């Protein structure tokens, strides 16, 4: 609150009141620490597109439940278009990614096809869209 107050040149009391109001209206849904994955030894990110054999509710739910148990998958999005899911997978290196891909993801029930893309560098990063 103190840093925010200084940044917008407003005293702490009204800033606290406004933040509380944003929390109450679920505009602010929580707080998080930003972690440098590379410093933790996880410097290899891969975007993985997954197509399922069938796009029916129970198959989607089963896939999502399985993905939620995989620590390598840090983001998972249900998508429109040619693939059903887009994952961001983070591992230590390409060898660990290969182990994950062949040992976990390709063996996941219902997976029909997988396409991987390795990012070269992050151009922009932010936690949320703001006004």
- pLDDT tens by residue, 24-81: 999 999 999 999 999 999 999 999 999 999 999 999 999 999 999 999 999 999 999 9
User: How many residues would you count in the chain?
Assistant: 131
For the whole model, what pTM was predicted?
0.85
Task: Say what the alpha-carbon torsion angle 7, 8, 12, 15 is, to the nearest 10 degrees.
Answer: -130
């Amino acid at each position: 609150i103190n840093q925010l107050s200084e940044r917008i040149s407003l005293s702490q009391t009204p800033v606290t009141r406004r933040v509380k109001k944003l929390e109450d209206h679920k505009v602010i849904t929580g707080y998080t620490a930003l972690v440098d994955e590379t410093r933790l030894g996880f410097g290899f990110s891969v975007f993985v597109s997954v197509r399922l054999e069938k796009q029916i509710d129970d198959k989607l739910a089963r896939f999502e439940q399985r993905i939620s148990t995989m620590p390598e998958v840090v983001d998972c999005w249900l998508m429109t278009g040619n693939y059903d899911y887009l994952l961001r997978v983070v591992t230590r290196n390409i060898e660990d990614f290969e182990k994950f891909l062949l040992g976990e993801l390709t063996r996941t029930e219902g997976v029909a096809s997988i396409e991987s893309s390795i990012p070269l560098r992050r151009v922009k990063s932010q936690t949320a869209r703001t006004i």
